[in-house]
Amino acid sequence: MSSRNAQMRRHARKMRRNGLQPMVVIDANDRFPDLVAVVIARGMWRYRSELTPPALALTLFLVAASLHPSHTAWWWGVLVAATTAAWLVALFGGRIGLSLRAERYYAAAVILAAGGWLASAIGLGALYGPLPQLLAAETGVLGVPWWAHRRRRARVRVERQLSAWPEIAKDIGLPGSRLQSAVVDVWGWRARFALARGQTIQDAIAKIPAIESALGTFRGAVRVLPTRDDKANRFELRVLDIDPHADAIPWPGPSVTTINESIDLGPFEDATAARILLLRRHGLIGGVAGSGKSGGINVLMGNLTACQDVVIWAIDLKRGMELQPWASCIDRLATTPEQARVLLRDAVAVLEARASWLAANGRRVWEPSPNTPALVIVIDEFAELAEDAPESASDTDSIARRGRAVAVQLIAATQRPTQKAMGRGAVRSQMDVRVSFRVRERKDVDLILGQGMLSAGWHAHTLNAPGKFLLSAPEHDVPRRARAYLLTDETVARTAEHHADDRPALDTISRTAVEEAQAGLTAPPAPSGAPRDTADPDAALMAVLSGAPDEGTPVQILIQATGMSRPWIYQRLRQQAEAGHVIQVSRGRWRATDNHTQ
């Protein structure tokens, strides 16, 4: 048989060379009907969806032709049934998956037209008068919406693509994985797959480019996600026809009023919100210039300024270009290296004071409230800080390591968080929340999101528009693309103005710590050899306060003179102030009054 086929192919080639079209030559021994029938049947199966209207018309014709001779009287039953069915579908079609009204009306029209024709043909005969022509015309007219329907066409395309999955799976290195179900949705389609024994979701993620190529999608159209039941041997394949993030998404306004709630940064591709909890966490935002980092910071600022239990400090060494518009809501804004250095030193003082207070009161963590707010320090372009104020590195380190429990938190944005840019030490490794906008190089993924993230499928280098980001946090451990909301300049100005009047102030403990830190800067050195009467700290305190100059003595000196803790000093100062024996001259500076000896 095969030598005969080869002979036929040679013959056909020869005929083509001679300008003749080849023909299939069949002799008595060939199984001609099989060959043609298989080809036709395969074609009909492949195009079964497109062939549905003529197939339905043919079925109606055959049914009418067979019923007319013996059951002519059935015509009215068919008419009543079709009319009832059409009404039911028009009214309740949603329950059988016809979600759009247009789809329900179309289905009702088809049932009515088919039932009407069938009733007429049963009563009068399928070939009666213009009935055959009418059937053909109805098929043509009502077939058009069917053939044109977007979701049907998409479903057919998906079915055809997925029917080849067993071969695709073998070719891309996921042999044995099986399709379980597929659904066409507004953006494209999603399908659930079972993995073969030993295969993991990570294997599927690593094959994404190969899957895209095999399915013939555009680059970046395929996502691999865990299924809802989180089974290790399943995955969901999401294929986008339309990018739901193609256009900028306007900010809908703040999603929180307290830092105890999760902030909505923007939607994921399935339209669910990318929410992140910042309470007692540090955040790192990375991405190349123009990738939307500042836009991301604006979303955070829009939400943080709406929180009654957050005091915002900010460092923006690009002369306040990015954060200046929020200045009315920012408690302290540093725009020079010196200001940044002082700000971070004061933040450490707040941290220490809060930690002492927690320890003294037997508490573990600082609970933010309007009276005891969290202190969030937003640093735009962290790399510049490390370069221009290198002496602050130990302060950022301290905050990164010890700030969580006392709700003194860092949010740092940078283009490339290299070890050099992040300063030495712990800062990068202490970042609990990582937001990566587009990065230039693949290796930058690991820099921003953490070691091993690139190979785990966090492909931030493929993000293809500003504002798109990947979010990594304890509650976000799967790479899903999101797009940050966009705040226009007017929205920023309006929001800042709206929130400016409701900003909380630092609590007394933190304020005092800052005052002391600032006073300490200008404090005279402790008198060497000054008596330190640790046997009677109250007497030592009053002695120093009595000898204080008019501008007062800094609390730091009082601590040194008495050997007592800061809370102890403040408690005594309050008592003595209430008794009229001491007064606070300025921030962190005290002296005795004239009647202290009375």
Ligand X SMILES: Nc1ncnc2c1ncn2[C@@H]1O[C@H](COP(=O)(O)OP(=O)(O)OP(=O)(O)O)[C@@H](O)[C@H]1O
Binding site for ligand X (CB under 6 A): 248, 287, 289-295, 466-467, 483-484, 486
Q: Among 189, 302, 186, which residue's Cα sits nearest to residue 254?
A: 302
Let me know the angle formed at the C-alpha of 208 by 206 and 212, rounded to the nearest 5 degrees: 160
Cβ proximity to ligand X, 295 vs 325, nearer residue: 295
Q: Minimum distance from CB of 482 to ligand X (Å)?
A: 10
Among all residues, whose Cβ is closest to ligand X? Answer: 467
Residue 290 in marked binding region: yes
Encoded amino acid at 212, one letter: E
Cβ proximity to ligand X, 172 vs 323, nearer residue: 323
Residue 505 in marked binding region: no
Q: Record the tokens describing residue 89, joined without a space.
A: 């579908």
Q: Minimum distance from CB of 290 to ligand X (Å)?
A: 5
Contact 312, 305 (CB under 8 A): yes
Cβ proximity to ligand X, 285 vs 569, nearer residue: 285
What is the C-alpha to C-alpha distance for residues 289 and 291, in angstroms, rounded to an integer? Answer: 6
What is the C-alpha to C-alpha distance for residues 431 and 401, in angstroms, rounded to an integer? Answer: 9
- Indicate the pairing of strand 589-592 with strand 582-586: antiparallel
What is the C-alpha to C-alpha distance for residues 140 and 465, in angstroms, rounded to an integer? Answer: 44
Residue 183 in marked binding region: no
Residue 292 in marked binding region: yes
Q: Minimum distance from CB of 352 to ligand X (Å)?
A: 33
Q: Minimum distance from CB of 246 to ligand X (Å)?
A: 10
Cβ proximity to ligand X, 254 vs 292, nearer residue: 292
Q: Minimum distance from CB of 506 to ligand X (Å)?
A: 29
Residue 468 in marked binding region: no
Q: Minimum distance from CB of 95 to ligand X (Å)?
A: 39
Cβ proximity to ligand X, 285 vs 347, nearer residue: 285
Partners of 236 in the β-ladder: 192, 225
Cβ proximity to ligand X, 287 vs 537, nearer residue: 287
In a 3-state reduction of DSSP, which class is residue 547? coil
Cβ proximity to ligand X, 53 vs 296, nearer residue: 296
What DSSP assignment string belongs to 210-245? HHHHHHT--TT-EEEE--TT--TTEEEEEEESS-TT
Q: Minimum distance from CB of 266 to ligand X (Å)?
A: 7
Cβ proximity to ligand X, 464 vs 575, nearer residue: 464
What lies within 8 Å, CB to CB, of 585 at 6+ separation is 550, 551, 552, 591
What is the C-alpha to C-alpha distance for residues 265 and 488, in angstroms, rounded to an integer? Answer: 15
Q: Minimum distance from CB of 412 to ligand X (Å)?
A: 13
Q: Record the tokens describing residue 291, joined without a space.
A: 């990738």
Q: Among 511, 519, 508, 593, which residue's Cα sits nearest to residue 553?
A: 519
Residue 340 in marked binding region: no
Q: Minimum distance from CB of 426 to ligand X (Å)?
A: 24
Q: Among 507, 513, 504, which residue's Cα sits nearest to residue 356?
A: 513
Helix, strand, coil percentages in the chain from 3-state DSSP, rounded to 5: 50, 15, 35
**C-alpha pair distances (Å), 133 with each of 62, 141, 312, 480, 490:** 15, 12, 77, 55, 64
Contact 520, 352 (CB under 8 A): no
Cβ proximity to ligand X, 456 vs 484, nearer residue: 484
What is the C-alpha to C-alpha distance for residues 297 and 305, in angstroms, rounded to an integer? Answer: 12
Annotated binding site for ATP: 287-294
Annotated binding site: 287-294
